Amino acid sequence: MVRKVIDLECLLPPDEQGRPRQYHEQASHRIGHGDPELLEPRPGYGFANYQNIFRRRVGAPAVPDADGKPPAGQSMKQFVEELDREGAVVSVIGRVDNDVLADIVGEYPDRFFALATISPFDGMRGVRELERLVRERMLNGLRVAALYNSLAASDRRYYPLYAKCVELDIPVRIYSTMNYANDRPYDLGHPRHLDQVAMDFPELRIVAALSGWPWVPDLVGLMRRHPNLYCDTASHHPQYFGVPGSGWEMFMQFGNTLLQDKIMVGFSKDSFGLTIPQSVALYEKLPLKDKVIEKWLYGNAKEFLRV
C-alpha cells in the first residue's frame, strides 16, 4: 500500500513538448532583480559550480513513468496522475513564474500549494503584487531565496513582505542552507537570519527550507526557541540522515523527540532519480519511531500548511 505524503518541494516536469514550465508569456521579470550579465559567465563559476559539487546528479536519469520509460515531458493531467500513484496528496510548488503557478492552482486547487516569488527590491509594488496573487489568483504563500538575489532573509527589504504574510495569514518558505554558487557568500542561507525574522515577526509561520545544513545544531536550537519555525528536508538524500559524521546527528535526535512535530519532508525527487515511494522507503529505514515517520511525511505538513 502506498503511504500518503505531503511533499514540501515538488519540481514541475517539462510540458508535452519537453519545454520547461518556468516562465509565463506575460512575465514581467525573472526571479531576482537587476539586469542580466552582459558577458557570458566564467565556466564552472557561480551557479555552474553546482555541476562540480554534485556531479552524480548532473545528467541523472529522469524518474521513469508507469511503463518504466523516462518521460520526455508530461501534461499536468499526467503529472497529477503520477502523484496520485505515488501517494502525494499535496505538493508544494515554486521556483517558476507566479502566473504559471496561478494557472496550475486554478486548475488543481486541492493538489498544489503554490509559493509566490516576489523581489524584495520591488518595495510596496511587490507587497501589492503578493496580495493580488493570494487574494485573486489563489497562491498560498511566499518563497524567499537569498541564493538568487544575494540578500539574506533578515534584510529589512523583505520586512514589508513578511508583514503582508502575517496579515494574509500565509506561510513563508526561506532558503536555509549553505550554497555552492561561488560568486556569492556561502552563508546567505545561514539559520541565524531566521532568528531575527522570527523575533521581529513572532506570528509569521516560517519553513526553513533544506534544514540548515551544515549549521544543523543552530537550526535545531532555533526551532526549539521559536514556536512558529519549522523546517523541511528538501534537496537532501534521506539515506544520509542516519549516517554518523554526516552532520545530521542533532537533527535525528531532536527530530525523533522534542522537535518531532516540526520537521516536514521535501522529496526533490528529480534531484535524486527516485520515485516518492522509493524515498519513503529510505525514510522508513531511519531510526525514527513509527509515529514520527508519519508526522514527518504527512501529519506535520498537513497541520502547518492547513490543507
Model confidence at 35: pLDDT above 60: no
Query: Is the residue at 38 inside a domain?
Result: no
Confidence of residue 38 (pLDDT cuts 50, 70, 90): low
pLDDT for 228-269, tens place per residue? Answer: 999 999 999 999 999 999 999 999 999 999 999 999 999 998
Q: How far apart are CA 169 and CA 158, in angstroms?
A: 16
3-class DSSP assignment, residue 95: coil
Query: Is the residue at 299 inside a domain?
Result: yes
- Range name among 45-59, 134-148, 180-194 with the lowest pLDDT average: 45-59
Model confidence at 173: pLDDT above 90: yes
Confidence of residue 68 (pLDDT cuts 50, 70, 90): low
* Of 287, 214, 208, nearest in space to 245 by CA: 214
Q: How far apart are CA 48 and CA 84, in angstroms?
A: 34
Q: Mention every residue, 6+ apart, whose C-beta is less than 8 A from residue 13.
A: 21, 71, 73, 74, 79, 270
User: Concatenated DSSP letters for 116-161?
Assistant: EE--GGGHHHHHHHHHHHHHTT---EEEE-HHHH---TTSGGGHHH
Query: Is the residue at 29 inside a domain?
Result: yes
Question: What CATH number corresponds to the domain at position 296?
Answer: 3.20.20.140
Query: Is the residue at 257 inside a domain?
Result: yes
Query: Is the residue at 179 inside a domain?
Result: yes
| Widest pairwise Cα distance in the chain | 54
Q: What is the pLDDT of residue 282?
A: 97
Q: What is the pLDDT of residue 127?
A: 96
Report how many domains make up the chain. Answer: 1
pTM over 0.85: yes
* Cell, residue 152: 539574506
Query: Is the residue at 173 inside a domain?
Result: yes
Domain containing 295 equals 5-33+43-305
pLDDT for 262-303, tens place per residue? Answer: 999 999 988 888 999 999 999 999 999 999 999 999 999 999
The radius of gyration computed from the CA coordinates of the chain, to the nearest angstrom, equals 19
Confidence of residue 58 (pLDDT cuts 50, 70, 90): very low
Residue 58 DSSP one-character state: T
Query: Is the residue at 213 inside a domain?
Result: yes
Query: Is the residue at 113 inside a domain?
Result: yes
Q: What is the mean pLDDT of residues 185-211?
A: 97
